[in-house]
C-alpha cells in the first residue's frame, strides 16, 4: 500500500493527465482501413482515452491537500534555461477543479458526437483530444510561456471544430471567433513580454512576487484585460459567442461554454489580480460597469431570441457577468462564489447545449417555434431539461444557486448598489429560461414532426445523468468544492490586500484622490 502510494506520489500526474489525450490522438492517427472501420475505432479510442484521463484526473482531486494555498503536484523541467523559461506545472485550489471540469466534460462530448458526426470522424476525434490537452495544460501551467502556448493552442482545434463540422454560417463564425480572441491574445502577449523583460523570468510564482510600478500595472492590466474579457466574454466584446455557439456542433458548444469561457475568469484570478493588485483595484469600477451591463442587457436580449442556442449563449454572457463581478469584489465569498459559479456554469451550460443537441439531432432545427409539447412524448428529456433549466435559474438545491448567492453576498458587502443591480439578473434569468422551457417542452403536442420524436436513448441518458448528479451534489453539499478553494482564495486575497496596504503607505494621497475620482 505504501509502495503504491509512493509510486503514485512520484508520478508526474499533471503531465500524464495533460498529454494522455495526445497519446490517444496518436493511436487514432495510426488506424488504417475502410472509412467505416476508422470512424468506429476513432470513436472508441477517443472515448476510452478521455475516460481514462478523467479517472486519472480524479486521482489529482483525491490526493489534493485542502488546507494549503501552495501549488501541488509541481513538476519542473528546464526548457529554455538561458531565458529562464521552464516546463513548470502545478495546481492550487483555484485551478484544480477546472482540470476536473475539463476532463469531466470531454468524454461527454465524445459521446454526444457519437452519431451526429459522420464526416471526417477521425480528424474530429483528434481535434477533441488535442483540445483536451490544451485545456488541461492551460490550467496546470505555471510558466507564463507554457500558459500562453496552451492558451493559444486551444484556439486551433476549436477553430477547426466550428469551421469544419459546424453548420449554418460556420466559416463566418469560426473566423469571428478566431479573430476576436486572437486580437485580445496579441495584447496579452505584449503584456507578458513586458513583464518578462522587467522580471527576467517567466515563472508564474516569480511574477506574482514581482512588484510593478503603478503606471506599468495599468498598461499591463489593460493588455491582459483585452484578452481575458474577450474570452469571458464581457460586454461589448461578446458578439462572437452567439455566432460561434449557433454554428458549432453540439460538442463544440459544450466545450466552448463549459471550459473556454472559464479561461478568461481563470486568467483574471491567476494573472491580473495577484500580479497587478493596484491596477485591479483601479479598474474595478470598469469591470463592475461592464459586468452589470452584461447581466441586464444580455438577459433582455436572451428573452427575445428565437434560436435555442443563441438564447443559451446570451444567458452565458449574463451568467459570466456574475463571475467577473465576483472576482473583482475581492472578498472571500465573492471570489469563491465566482469560482463556484464558473464551475457550475461549466456543467450547467454544457448540459443545456447537450439538451439542445438532443432535439437538434432529431429535428435538425434550433428554431424554438418548431418545437412544443415535448413533455408528452419525451418525459425523460423534459425532466433532465427541467433540472438544468432550474440550475441555470439558480434555484437553491442546484449548483447555480451557490455561486450566484455567494457572489452577491460578497459583492453586497463591498458595494450594495452593484449587488442590487446584479440581483435583477435573478429575476430576468428566470424569465427567459422559463419562457424557453414553456415553448419547447410544455403545451399540446400538435406538430407531426415533433410527435415523431422519441425519448432519450441510453447513450443520451449516459451523457445527461452524470451531469444531473453533479448539479445536485454541488447544490446540496457545495462544501466538497468550497473546501478545495478556500485556502488558495484566502491566500490570494491576503496578498492582494497586503499589496494595497504597502502601496497606500507609500503614495496614499495620489491613490485616494484617484479612487475618489473614479468612484
Partner 1 sequence: MLVAAVFLPLLGAFVAGFFGRLIGDRASHIVTCLGVGLASLAAIFTFYDVAIAGHSQVVNLTTFLSSGTFEAQWALRFDTLSAVMVMTVTTVSTLIHIYAVGYMSHDDSQPRFMAYLSLFTFAMLMLVTADNLVQMFFGWEGVGLVSYLLIGFWFKKPSANAAAIKAFIVNRIGDFGFLLGIFAIYFLFDAVSFDVIFGAAEGKADAEVTFFGIHAHALTITCILLFVGAMGKSAQLFLHTWLPDAMEGPTPVSALIHAATMVTAGVFLVARMSPLFEYAPTALTVVTVIGALTAFFAATIGCVQNDIKRIIAYSTCSQLGYMFFACGVSAYQAGIFHLMTHAWFKALLFLSAGSVIHAMSAEQDIRKMGGIWRLIPVTFTVMMIGNLALTGIPFFAGYFSKDMVLEAAHAAGTGAGNYAFALGITAAFLTSFYSWRLTFLTFFGSPRANHHTMEHVHESPLVMTIPLGLLALGAVFAGFLGYDLFVGEGRAEFWRGAIVVLESQDSIARVHEHHPAILIKYLPLIVSLGGLGLAYLMYIKRPDLPGRLAAAFPGVYQFLLNKWYFDELYDFLFVKNAFRLGRLFWKGGDTGIIDRFGPDGLSAATGVFARRLALVQSGYLYHYAFAMIVGLAAIVSWFVFGRAG
Binding site for partner 1 (CB under 8 A): 175-176, 179-180, 236-237, 239-240, 242, 297-298, 300-305, 331-333, 336-337, 373, 375-376, 390, 395-397, 401-402, 405-406, 408-409, 412-413, 416-417, 419-420, 423-424, 426-428, 430-431, 434-435, 438, 441-444, 477-479, 482, 486, 490
**Is 189 or 423 the residue whose CB approaches partner 1 more closely?**
423
- Let me know how long the chain is: 519
Q: How far is the CB of 434 from partner 1 (least distance, A)?
A: 5
- Our CA angle for 75, 81, 83, nearest 5°, is 120
Determine the straight-line distance between the first and last CA of the chain, rounded to whole angstroms.
Answer: 59
Residue with C-alpha cell 502545478? 90
Nearest to 74 by CA among 58, 57, 56, 87: 87
What is the Cα–Cα distance from 435 to 393, expressed in whole angstroms?
12
- Which helix (H) or strand (E) element contains residue 241? helix 240-247
Q: How far is the CB of 298 from partner 1 (least distance, A)?
A: 8
**CA 212, 213, 218, 222 torsion-angle sign:** negative
The grid cell for 513 is 484622490
Query: CB–CB of 83/146 below 8 Å?
Result: no
Q: How far is the CB of 344 from partner 1 (least distance, A)?
A: 13
Please, how many CA atoms are within 13 Å of residue 244, restricted to the half-sphere of its CB?
32
**Is 200 or 396 the residue whose CB approaches partner 1 more closely?**
396
Rounded to the nearest 5°, which phi and psi values hold at 278?
-65, -45
Nearest to 261 by CA among 234, 222, 298, 224: 234
**Is 150 or 180 the residue whose CB approaches partner 1 more closely?**
180
Q: How far is the CB of 295 from partner 1 (least distance, A)?
A: 12
**Is 364 or 438 the residue whose CB approaches partner 1 more closely?**
438
Query: CB–CB of 85/148 below 8 Å?
Result: no
**Is 268 or 481 the residue whose CB approaches partner 1 more closely?**
481
**Is 143 or 307 the residue whose CB approaches partner 1 more closely?**
307
Q: How far is the CB of 252 from partner 1 (least distance, A)?
A: 19
**Is 129 or 421 the residue whose CB approaches partner 1 more closely?**
421
Q: How far is the CB of 144 from partner 1 (least distance, A)?
A: 28
Q: How far is the CB of 205 from partner 1 (least distance, A)?
A: 24
Amino acid at each position: 500500500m505504501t509502495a503504491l502510494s509512493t509510486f503514485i506520489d512520484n508520478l508526474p500526474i499533471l503531465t500524464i493527465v495533460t498529454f494522455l489525450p495526445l497519446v490517444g490522438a496518436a493511436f487514432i492517427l495510426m488506424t488504417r482501413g475502410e472509412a467505416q472501420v476508422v470512424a468506429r475505432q476513432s470513436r472508441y479510442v477517443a472515448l476510452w482515452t478521455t475516460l481514462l484521463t478523467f479517472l486519472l484526473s480524479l486521482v489529482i482531486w483525491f490526493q489534493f491537500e485542502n488546507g494549503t494555498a501552495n501549488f501541488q503536484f509541481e513538476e519542473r523541467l528546464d526548457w529554455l534555461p538561458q531565458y529562464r523559461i521552464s516546463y513548470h506545472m502545478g495546481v492550487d485550489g483555484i485551478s484544480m477543479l477546472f482540470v476536473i471540469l475539463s476532463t469531466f466534460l470531454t468524454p461527454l462530448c465524445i459521446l454526444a458526437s457519437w452519431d451526429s458526426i459522420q464526416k471526417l470522424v477521425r480528424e474530429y476525434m483528434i481535434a477533441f483530444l488535442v483540445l483536451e490537452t490544451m485545456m488541461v495544460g492551460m490550467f496546470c501551467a505555471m510558466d507564463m510561456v507554457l500558459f500562453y502556448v496552451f492558451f493559444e493552442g486551444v484556439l486551433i482545434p476549436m477553430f477547426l471544430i466550428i469551421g469544419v463540422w459546424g453548420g449554418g454560417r460556420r466559416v463566418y463564425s469560426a473566423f469571428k471567433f478566431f479573430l476576436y480572441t486572437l486580437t485580445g491574445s496579441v495584447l496579452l502577449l505584449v503584456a507578458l513580454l513586458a513583464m518578462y523583460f522587467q522580471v527576467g523570468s517567466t515563472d508564474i510564482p516569480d511574477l506574482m512576487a514581482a512588484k510593478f510600478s503603478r503606471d506599468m500595472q495599468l498598461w499591463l492590466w489593460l493588455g491582459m484585460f483585452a484578452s481575458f474579457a474577450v474570452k469571458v466574454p464581457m460586454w461589448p466584446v461578446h458578439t462572437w459567442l452567439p455566432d460561434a455557439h449557433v454554428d458549432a456542433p453540439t460538442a463544440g458548444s459544450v466545450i466552448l461554454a463549459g471550459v473556454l469561457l472559464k479561461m478568461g475568469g481563470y486568467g483574471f484570478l491567476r494573472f491580473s489580480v495577484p500580479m497587478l493588485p493596484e491596477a485591479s483595484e483601479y479598474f474595478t469600477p470598469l469591470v463592475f460597469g461592464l459586468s452589470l451591463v452584461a447581466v441586464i442587457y444580455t438577459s433582455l436580449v436572451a428573452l427575445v431570441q428565437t434560436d435555442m442556442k443563441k438564447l443559451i449563449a446570451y444567458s452565458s454572457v449574463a451568467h459570466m457577468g456574475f463571475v467577473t463581478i465576483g472576482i473583482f469584489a475581492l472578498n472571500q465569498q465573492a471570489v469563491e462564489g465566482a469560482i463556484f459559479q464558473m464551475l457550475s456554469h461549466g456543467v450547467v451550460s454544457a448540459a443545456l447545449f447537450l439538451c439542445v443537441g438532443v432535439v437538434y439531432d432529431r429535428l435538425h432545427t434550433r428554431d424554438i417555434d418548431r418545437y412544443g409539447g415535448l413533455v408528452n412524448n419525451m418525459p425523460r428529456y423534459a425532466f433532465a431539461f427541467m433540472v438544468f433549466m432550474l440550475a441555470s435559474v439558480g434555484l437553491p438545491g442546484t449548483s447555480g444557486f451557490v455561486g450566484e448567492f455567494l457572489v452577491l453576498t460578497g459583492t453586497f458587502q463591498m458595494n450594495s448598489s452593484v449587488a442590487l443591480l446584479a440581483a435583477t439578473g435573478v429575476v430576468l434569468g428566470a424569465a427567459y429560461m422559463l419562457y424557453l422551457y414553456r415553448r419547447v417542452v410544455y403545451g399540446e403536442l400538435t406538430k407531426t414532426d415533433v410527435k415523431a420524436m422519441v425519448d432519450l436513448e441510453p447513450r443520451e441518458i449516459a451523457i445527461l445523468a452524470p451531469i444531473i448528479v453533479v448539479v445536485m451534489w454541488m447544490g446540496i453539499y457545495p462544501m466538497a468544492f468550497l473546501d478545495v478553494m478556500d485556502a488558495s482564495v484566502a491566500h490570494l486575497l491576503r496578498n492582494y490586500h497586503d499589496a494595497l496596504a504597502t502601496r497606500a503607505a507609500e503614495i496614499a494621497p495620489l491613490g485616494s484622490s484617484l479612487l475618489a475620482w473614479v468612484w
